[in-house]
Structure 1
Amino acid sequence: MNITTQLAIEWQNPSNILALLFIIGGDIVQHAIAQLFGVYIQPFRNSPRLYLTPVAFSFGWVSYAFMSLASVLGDKPLMPPEPDCPSRVINCSSGYGRTNRSWVLGRILRDHELAVEENSSPEFANLSAAGKRVSLRIDIFQIQESETPQIDRVWILGWLTIVAQLVISAAPWVRHGDWGVFLVTASGTMFALMTGSLRQWNLENNGTAWDLESLATASSASLAETPWLLGVLAVLWGCLLITVSGLQQNAWFLVLIGGIGMVQNIYASVARRPASAFNMGIKPYAPLPTIVGLGFEQPCDDENSDEDLGDTTGHWRQPLDYEETSGVRGAIRELEKAFPKAGVALMQEFFPALVKYEPERYRTNAEKKFWKKAFRRFGMPVLSNHVMNE
């Protein structure tokens, strides 16, 4: 058999290459499940929840089956190990901050930042032309926990993709009586849905009921049944891979089906979704949805003036327009006005050396008075000029 004949046979029925395709893209499947998990049905009042995670059958599933089994056996989570948007979670009452390790929180923050960049408010559109820039933006939200995640187009598209795959796989069966492609597609779809319905996903996804501090640092142990179920699924995926390599005809249908599934997996893993799709409904805080600090010069009082001269703190506590809010410290000051202790907590994050009230760090008398009271309310040291000079 010459090389031309061999290539012709392989292109007519690429079953050997098809088997190799099924072992690539496991990380894409992992991110797709993390994105779409959450919606469930409960047939009876006391029956277990049945989670519906529409991640379509694709080339990456065999690889992911063994990757997830190894992860669980090695005391690692099913969820992606690191968030794709680094962030910190800070308790505004205590000021204690911690690095966020929740993939879900990181994804919500990523999607919000992208939305802000694309749809900035009209009043901020001409800042660059005026020679100004945003030094710090603080968006304030109210969290509304709901019973189930919001169903959006990404979740619906997953089910439409699954239906399309099953319809395509039935074509060889209807036309030629070859039910092998349908068997592989239906089996792969069933194994994929079973993997996405594991209770372990709920434990790692939002099992802490949206206590943000706990969610940011929690490391969930594997449930007793998780390693066993993943082991059985890995064996089933291995058997499916052997079945695929044994198909002698209509392999191009599987290439098409797997390609469609891979496109859906990629889209689901990177798509922007509202926070409500992760079962965390948030809405802007109506009285003060956004605080923005702009980069421009701020006037300074006479450095030799008496700190206690005059009391303008009451007037100074009134919220400023965004055009009057100067820099990072100005935005934090406005946050402290609206939410006592929150500004001091952020002050420590942006200015780590500022662990106590130090008068010389502030430009105006009113600002000195404001932060002096804020630090006292927070329970942090307040040093007078006399003590500082000693």
Structure 2
Amino acid sequence: MANEAGAALGGQWVNPSDILSILLLLGPDTVQKAVAQLSGRAITPAAFSFGWVGYAITALASLFGTGFLMPATDVPDITLVGAQSGHSRPTRSWVLGRLFRDAHHRATAATRTPGRAANKADETWDALRVSVYRFDEEPRVAHGVPKVDLVWCTGFVVIAVQTVLSILPWILHGDWTPFLIAAVGNVLALVGASMPQWRAEKWACPKDGGRTVTLTQGNGSRFAMVILGSKKAGLNLEALATAVDTSHPSILTRATSGVLALCWLALLVTVAGVQEHTWYLLAIGLIGSIQNLYAVGSTRSPGAMGIQLEEVEVFRGKKVIGVLKDVEKAYPLVGTSLVGLFFPGSLRVAEDKEFEFWQGAFQQRYAPNKHGRCVGVAPPEADSLSQGLPEKPTEGGGKNRGGQVLTTGTSDIPAKCLHDR
């Protein structure tokens, strides 16, 4: 009995066959996110890996349920704010989430102040960094089409390596089964990842320009990304933030997904019957899974996400209100649109000139424009500025030395402006 048990264990390590069929069912979320990262061109280089069978079944259920192939963003609490309207909305767009995440990653090192003591957080970090971008009006690659980068190219490299590995047992042992499984798996992965539905959902918005917007995580965040609007080129990012549900799958897409799911199940049955040279298949699947993880976690340029941007300038400082003031001076309406997010209670300023600046900025924001007049908000009067900064009692009976409360543009205002759409 002991010899039989030892032989069984030894045989499992020589040819671990049963585990292969299980691994093909694990990790469908990683496969979906990898395809979401790489899709957008005519061919998406998604390699055969563990998790594809599970993903194919999940995708089929999703297409007949919610109707989406693209996952929602995995970056939490991202808010898109329109500079002109001041309207804010959460975004579920994968593209905008990764655009913000990658820009934030690139800015993280820059927010550290070199040469300062590491144990002094107030000296090591900027309070806020605002990176300003604009659309490239003459891009080499059209808006809504991703640029080719290293992450995208690694997919084809991995497929080539997998093909070479699958040929080795054919050459050395005359066993062509690993080659058949790897070839069929890669073909199915390429077809499933290259369906036009991915592109339709990924950039579900008009591509003839849009208004200036800001992406941020709001109060407590130290980073904001301003994208200047353009009437000549670019994507309508306000529409992209919540427009995923405008691209419902066609009957052809659903039929293709059904056929792919059946083919993946057939491949799963085939893999379960393989008894020899299974280490080659394990290596092939492992390499594909590593490529998926690399695609999901990599920081990419805006162009690789299909949004062709150029960085214009960066605002940074030790006080949030100071950075917002600089932004408002350079780009009117952008700074005031963010005050309510970064100061959700109220904005308090300690100097008359600061109060005058913000009072004037909000007066400009709520002034009548081509869309009409603001409903429920009276523009602040210039002569309403109180002279001097008297100490004001707080609820606890003490003195408040923070200065005057500027309620215009913050959450103290009961209504928002109404704009024509």
Paired residue type of 2:17: S
What is the aligned partner in structure 1 of residue 237 from structure 2?
212
What is the aligned partner in structure 1 of residue 223 from structure 2?
none
CA distance in 1, matches of 2:110, 2:333: 30
**Residues 35 and 269 in structure 1, CA contact (< 8 A), matched pair in contact too:** yes
The secondary structure found in structure 1 opposite 2:244 is coil
Q: CA deviation at 1:135?
A: 1.5
How big is each residue's C-alpha offset from its partner over 1:152-211, in whole Å with a ceiling of 9 and x where there is no partner?
A: 111111111000101110112222322111110000000000011111111111132321
What is the aligned partner in structure 1 of residue 54 from structure 2?
63
What is the aligned partner in structure 1 of residue 172 from structure 2?
175
**Residues 20 and 272 in structure 2, CA contact (< 8 A), matched pair in contact too:** yes
**Residues 18 and 272 in structure 2, CA contact (< 8 A), matched pair in contact too:** yes
Match of 2:40 among 38, 41, 45: 38
Match status 1:156 vs 2:153? yes
Q: Compare 333-342 and 363-372 and name the one that shifted more.
A: 363-372
Match of 1:92 among 60, 63, 83: 83
Match status 1:263 vs 2:293? no
Paired residue type of 2:303: S
Match of 1:19 among 18, 21, 38: 21
Match status 1:282 vs 2:309? yes
CA distance in 2, matches of 1:17, 1:28: 19
CA distance in 1, matches of 2:33, 2:83: 31
Q: CA deviation at 1:385?
A: 5.3
* Alpha-carbon distance change, 111 to 19 in structure 1, aligned in 2, over 3 angstroms: same
Paired residue type of 2:291: Q
Q: CA deviation at 1:213?
A: 0.9
**Residues 85 and 107 in structure 1, CA contact (< 8 A), matched pair in contact too:** no
**Residues 85 and 110 in structure 1, CA contact (< 8 A), matched pair in contact too:** no
CA distance in 2, matches of 1:341, 1:249: 67
Question: Which structure has more helix as a fraction of its residues?
Answer: 1
How big is each residue's C-alpha offset from its partner over 1:108-149, in whole Å with a ceiling of 9 and x where there is no partner?
A: 21111111223458xx32455786342111111112263232
**Residues 202 and 244 in structure 2, CA contact (< 8 A), matched pair in contact too:** no
What is the aligned partner in structure 1 of residue 330 from structure 2?
338
CA distance in 2, matches of 1:230, 1:378: 49
Paired residue type of 2:278: A
Question: What is the TM-score with the length of structure 1 in the denominator?
Answer: 0.80
**Residues 75 and 222 in structure 1, CA contact (< 8 A), matched pair in contact too:** no
CA distance in 2, matches of 1:37, 1:15: 32
Match of 1:136 among 128, 132, 135: 128
CA distance in 1, matches of 2:330, 2:290: 46
What is the aligned partner in structure 2 of residue 194 from structure 1?
191
CA distance in 2, matches of 1:8, 1:182: 25
CA distance in 2, matches of 1:268, 1:4: 41
Q: Compare 146-155 and 86-95 and name the one that shifted more.
A: 146-155
Could you list the structure 1 runs, at least 4 aligned residues long, displaced by more than 3 angstroms after superposition: 126-133
How big is each residue's C-alpha offset from its partner over 1:87-128, in whole Å with a ceiling of 9 and x where there is no partner?
A: 11000001000012111111121111111223458xx32455
CA distance in 2, matches of 1:331, 1:235: 56
Match status 1:292 vs 2:316? yes
The secondary structure found in structure 1 opposite 2:308 is strand
Match status 1:248 vs 2:275? yes
**Residues 95 and 348 in structure 1, CA contact (< 8 A), matched pair in contact too:** no
Paired residue type of 1:241: L
Match of 1:347 among 332, 339, 348: 339
Equivalenced residues, count: 335
What is the aligned partner in structure 1 of residue 69 from structure 2?
78
Paired residue type of 1:5: A
**Residues 40 and 146 in structure 2, CA contact (< 8 A), matched pair in contact too:** yes
CA distance in 2, matches of 1:385, 1:150: 52
Identity %: 37
Q: CA deviation at 1:74?
A: 1.3
Q: Compare 361-370 and 210-219 and name the one that shifted more.
A: 361-370
CA distance in 2, matches of 1:116, 1:187: 42
Match status 1:370 vs 2:397? no
Gaps of 5+ in 1: 40-50, 295-326
Q: Compare 374-383 and 93-102 and name the one that shifted more.
A: 374-383
**Residues 35 and 268 in structure 1, CA contact (< 8 A), matched pair in contact too:** yes
Paired residue type of 1:3: A
CA distance in 1, matches of 2:243, 2:184: 35
CA distance in 2, matches of 1:98, 1:223: 28
Paired residue type of 1:89: L
Aligned Cα RMSD in Å? 2.2
